[in-house]
Amino acid sequence: MDTPVLFLAFANDGDDHLSLLKEESRRLFGALEELDRKEYVKLYREESAEERDIFDACMRYKDRIAIFHYGGHANGTHLQLESGARDARGLATLLGEQDSLKLVFLNGCSTQPQVKALMEAGVKAIIATSVPIADDRAMRFAHRFYEALANRRTIGQAFKLAKTLPGFEDRDDLQIRDFVFGAETTTGEDNTDMPWGLYIKQGYEDEINNWKLPYFRPIGLPKDIIQYIGKSFTANRYIVLVLDEMCKYNPDIYAKMVERRGDELVKKDSRHYPGLIIENFPWPIGSQIRLLRLYDQPNRERLEHLVSAYIVTSQLLFYILLSDLWEKSRKSDRGGAIDTLGLDKQQFRNLDFLAQLAGLYDQLVSFDLPFVGELDLLIAELRKTDSPLQKAHQFLQQTRYRLADETPIADLEKNCQLAEQALSILLRQASFLARYRMLTVRNVMIDRPRFEELEYELDMGPLNATQGIDLNLYQDAYSRRKQTFADSSSIVLVSNEDHLDKALNLSPFIMDKNTFAQVKKSETTEKDKLAHIFLLGWEDNDRTYYFAVEHSFFTALEKESDQVHTDMTLEDFTEGRNLEEDLDDEFGFDFGLDEGDSGGGADESPKVFRILRDQFEMLKADLKP
* pLDDT one-digit tens code per residue, 440-451: 998 999 988 888
Residues in the chain: 625
Pick from 382, 416, 433: which residue ends a domain?
Answer: 433
Return the pLDDT at 399: 96
Contact 430, 313 (CB under 8 A): yes
Q: Is residue 519 part of a domain?
A: no
Contact 325, 367 (CB under 8 A): yes
The candidate with the shortest Cα–Cα distance to 544, out of 316, 323, 345, is 345
375 φ/ψ sector (left φ>0, alpha ψ -120 to 50, else beta): alpha
314 vs 479, higher pLDDT? 314
Q: Is residue 568 part of a domain?
A: yes
Task: List Cβ neighbours of 509 (8 Å cut-off, separation of 6 or more).
Answer: 319, 322, 323, 535, 536
Return the pLDDT at 193: 63
The angle that helices 283-294 and 300-330 make with each other, rounded to 10 degrees, is: 180
Residue 439 CB-half CA count within 13 A: 31
Main-chain dihedrals φ then ψ at residue 266, nearest 5 degrees: -115, 135
Is the same domain home to 612 and 492? no
Residue 515 CB-half CA count within 13 A: 27
What is the residue range of 597's domain? 526-622
325 vs 49, higher pLDDT? 325
Is the same domain home to 421 and 442? no
Return the pLDDT at 578: 47
Q: Which of 45-49, 180-184, 346-350 has the lowest mean pLDDT?
A: 180-184
Confidence band for 173, pLDDT divided at 50, 70 and 90: very low
Helices vs strands, H then E, count in the chain: 24, 19
Is the same domain home to 301 and 427? yes
161 φ/ψ sector (left φ>0, alpha ψ -120 to 50, else beta): alpha
Q: How many CB atoms lie within 10 A of CB 267?
A: 15
Is the same domain home to 265 and 392? yes
Q: Is residue 113 part of a domain?
A: yes
Q: Is residue 215 part of a domain?
A: no
Return the pLDDT at 562: 93
The candidate with the shortest Cα–Cα distance to 217, out of 183, 187, 253, 261, is 253
Return the pLDDT at 2: 78
Task: List Cβ neighbours of 411 (8 Å cut-off, separation of 6 or more).
Answer: none
pLDDT, the chain, mean: 86
CA dihedral (127, 129, 134, 137) positive or negative: negative
Is the same domain home to 491 and 361? no
Whether 385 has a pLDDT exceeding 80, the answer reads yes
429 vs 12, higher pLDDT? 429
Tell me the β-bridge partners of 461: 440
Beta-sheet pairing, 196-200 with 455-462: unpaired
Contact 518, 459 (CB under 8 A): no
CATH of the domain at 202: 3.40.50.1460
Confidence band for 437, pLDDT divided at 50, 70 and 90: very high
What share of the chain has pLDDT > 90, as a percent? 58
pLDDT tens-digit map of 483-495 = 889 999 999 999 8
Beta-sheet pairing, 65-71 with 103-107: parallel
H, E, C per residue of 260-278: EECCEEEECCHHHHHHHHH
Whether 530 has a pLDDT exceeding 70, the answer reads no
pTM of this prediction exceeds 0.85: no
What share of the chain has pLDDT > 70, as a percent? 87
Whether 466 has a pLDDT exceeding 80, the answer reads no
Q: How many CB atoms lie within 10 A of CB 519?
A: 15
Is the same domain home to 364 and 230? yes
Return the pLDDT at 187: 35
Q: How many CB atoms lie within 10 A of CB 231?
A: 9
Q: Which of 339-353, 504-518, 601-615 has the lowest mean pLDDT?
A: 601-615
Return the pLDDT at 184: 37
Pick from 180, 209, 238: which residue ends a domain?
Answer: 209
Return the pLDDT at 135: 82
Is the same domain home to 302 and 263? yes
Contact 130, 190 (CB under 8 A): no
Is the same domain home to 354 and 474? no
pLDDT tens-digit map of 75-114 = 888 898 888 888 889 999 999 999 999 999 999 989 999 9
- The Cα 189–Cα 115 span in angstroms is 21
Return the pLDDT at 185: 34
- The Cα 98–Cα 63 span in angstroms is 5
Q: How many CB atoms lie within 10 A of CB 470?
A: 12
pLDDT tens-digit map of 115-148 = 999 999 999 999 999 988 888 889 999 999 999 9
The candidate with the shortest Cα–Cα distance to 39, out of 216, 202, 163, 277, is 216
Contact 221, 247 (CB under 8 A): yes
End-to-end CA distance of the chain: 48
The candidate with the shortest Cα–Cα distance to 416, out of 302, 265, 532, 248, is 302
Is the same domain home to 176 and 66? yes
Q: Is residue 11 part of a domain?
A: yes
Is the same domain home to 129 and 250? no
Is the same domain home to 71 and 98? yes
Confidence band for 544, pLDDT divided at 50, 70 and 90: very high
Q: Which of 28-32, 37-41, 178-182 has the lowest mean pLDDT?
A: 178-182
pLDDT tens-digit map of 228-250 = 999 999 999 999 999 999 998 88
Return the pLDDT at 600: 46
- The Cα 208–Cα 199 span in angstroms is 10
**Rg value, the chain, Cα:** 28
Is the same domain home to 375 and 468? no
Q: Is residue 520 part of a domain?
A: no
Q: Is residue 518 part of a domain?
A: no
Query: In the predicted model, what is the mean pLDDT of residues 526-532?
Result: 58
- The Cα 273–Cα 194 span in angstroms is 52
H, E, C per residue of 474-539: CCCHHHHEECCCCCCCEEEEECCCCCHHHCEECCCCEEEHHHHCCCCHHHCCHHHHECCEEEEEEE
Pick from 512, 546, 580: which residue ends a domain?
Answer: 512
Q: Specify the number of domains making up the chain.
A: 4
Q: Is residue 521 part of a domain?
A: no
Contact 509, 535 (CB under 8 A): yes
pLDDT tens-digit map of 17-36 = 777 888 999 999 999 998 89
pLDDT tens-digit map of 334-370 = 888 898 999 999 999 999 999 999 999 999 999 888 9
Return the pLDDT at 522: 39
The candidate with the shortest Cα–Cα distance to 277, out of 257, 296, 260, is 257
